Structure 1
Amino acid sequence: MTKLYAVVAITKHGTAIARQLQEKMADVDVYYPEKFARGDESSRDIKVFSGSVVQHVPTLFASYSGLIGIFSLGAMVRLIAPLLRDKKTDPAVVVIDDRAEHVISVLSGHLGGANDLTHRVAHALGARPVITTASDVGQTVAVDLLGRAYGWSIENFENVTPVSAAVVNEERILIVQEAGETDWWPYSQPLPGYISVLHSIEDAKQQPFDAALLITPRLLSAEEAQTFLQRGVLYRPKVVVLGVGCNRGTEAAEIEQVIAETLQKVGLSILSVRNLATIDRKADEPGLLEVCQRNNWPLVTYTAEELNQVPIPNPSETVFKYVGTYGVCEPAARLSSGAEDWIVEKVRSGNVTVSVCLVPHQKGGSL
């Protein structure tokens, strides 16, 4: 299981298509029956199998990000039906007919990437992609994919299905974007007329709507949640950068507690944290590394010289004495985020200092 996708053929024609696909796509492993072996399988790293494909599909389904079957749609449905668990975890599944005329997205079209994979495979084979997802066919907002390319997370995934229905049924959709990347619209034509975009939740309170998409790092008030999330989806863009300093040997639990308390006080969601930033001398700090690993946050580091290039409101002679810079958390947050100012200047608690900046993104534009 060395590649992202498994290509499985069961016929003579399908075997030829699988070999062709391997030549065009570097991220596929190919499997077909040993009775169609041509003798070069070992050199091409092609896997041949004996017996029925039924015996092998469960392992391939669980081991790869996507499964590409060169056989009928009905056969694929019967094979994978007992294996299905959840749309957030099931792999992409695609089928190709035995003449490579059509490539069909079967399962996990959005979250699993089957629709994109279908287009890639169809392009490689000169075939016709078949996509049945309503938002793709209608070229409208894909609620479960919005901002995914930028790492945005959905806080209330249980609302995705009803809001998606509102979108494809062309009800009044309100998008409120307070932060994050603004070039998320993937099509060349303008947004449909039933979708409105605002950049202030205060303005949004005056706008009638049937379903809402909120893009913000803020913790919502009870009133805002009641108004917008009854039939709304809350996205957390990765726009919060945390500058962190700590004494050597500080435990991960203490660092996490200071981070959580700091974000809570200023009303920012921890789900919107993009990364931590600090001085390069802390690149091997066990507590910091553990915090980053637990939360899947990158750790960005800067030299003392780089940090000293940033004017800061709370310079410290003591910090300079020990690490050669007048501050760690404040300049690190500014440098990493590209922000002009801090949401939180240096906060000290125990062995930890934290500073918070927001990544600036241009609002408006074509949207």
Structure 2
Amino acid sequence: MTLVVGVGARRGVTADEVCALVLAVLRGAGRRPEEVAALATVEAKAGEPGLVAAAARLGLPLRAHPAAELASVAVPHPSAAALAATGTPSVAEAAALAEAAARGGAGELLVPRRKSARVTCAVAVAHGDGRLPAGGRGYTREDAAFGLPARRRPLIRRRIPRPAVER
């Protein structure tokens, strides 16, 4: 399971405000920043210094998606203000879902859009395509969080010849 944070911001936003909202939203969802694979936004905001600096501070890549791509993503909270400013009715939710889908398989919102004064963010989960990991390892310890039993490795028994006993 991979987390992606979608971020929208007004011009001139600071990295402090972006980081504060992202970390507060993750904390509220019971997630750690280490679980996040990327920040995602609309192409028009990808060069915003506050977003670029926040991504660097969090140690995450900043992924940009075209407004037309984000406009085609169904979201629960479209915004007329976002549509007027960027050409898509959602930046944070749509960017999070689009980036989750780009990582393979389906994505779903874990946290819908949250706002501060100049920033919006949403968190999506990228589920992958549902296949077993490479090598067919089956379930891992991380699956225990979903209540799935861990797969045990079969016990391999070899016959060890006994030494001949002299009589």
After superposition, the C-alpha distances for 1:112-160 in whole angstroms (9 at most, x for unaligned) are xxxxxxxxxxxxxxxxxxxxxxxxxxxxxxxxxxxxxxxxxxxxxxxxx
Percent identity of the aligned residues?
A: 32
**Distance (whole Å) between structure 2 residues aligned to residue 259 and residue 267 of structure 1:** 12
**Distance (whole Å) between structure 2 residues aligned to residue 288 and residue 273 of structure 1:** 15
1:313 to 61, 76, 83: 76
* Runs of at least 5 residues in structure 1 that lack an aligned partner in the other structure: 1-178, 180-238
**Distance (whole Å) between structure 2 residues aligned to residue 293 and residue 322 of structure 1:** 25
Per the alignment, residue 7 of structure 2 pairs with 244
1:274 to 21, 37, 49: 37
Mapping of residues 164-175 of structure 1, within 5 Å: none
Larger relative contact order (Cα-Cα within 8 Å, sequence gap ≥ 6): 2
**Distance (whole Å) between structure 2 residues aligned to residue 296 and residue 324 of structure 1:** 28
TM-score using structure 2 length: 0.73
- Post-superposition offset of 1:364: 4.8
**Distance (whole Å) between structure 2 residues aligned to residue 288 and residue 325 of structure 1:** 18
Matched residue SS, 1:340: strand
Question: What one-letter code is carried by the residue in structure 1 that aligns with 2:87?
Answer: G
TM-score using structure 1 length: 0.34
Question: What one-letter code is carried by the residue in structure 2 that aligns with 1:273?
Answer: V
Question: What one-letter code is carried by the residue in structure 2 that aligns with 1:343?
Answer: L
Per the alignment, residue 125 of structure 2 pairs with 358
Question: What one-letter code is carried by the residue in structure 1 that aligns with 2:12?
Answer: G
Q: Please state if 1:335 is matched with 2:98.
A: yes
Mapping of residues 97-108 of structure 1, within 5 Å: none
Per the alignment, residue 24 of structure 2 pairs with 261
Mapping of residues 155-304 of structure 1, within 5 Å: 179=1, 239-304=2-67
CA RMSD, 1 decimal: 1.4
Per the alignment, residue 346 of structure 1 pairs with 113
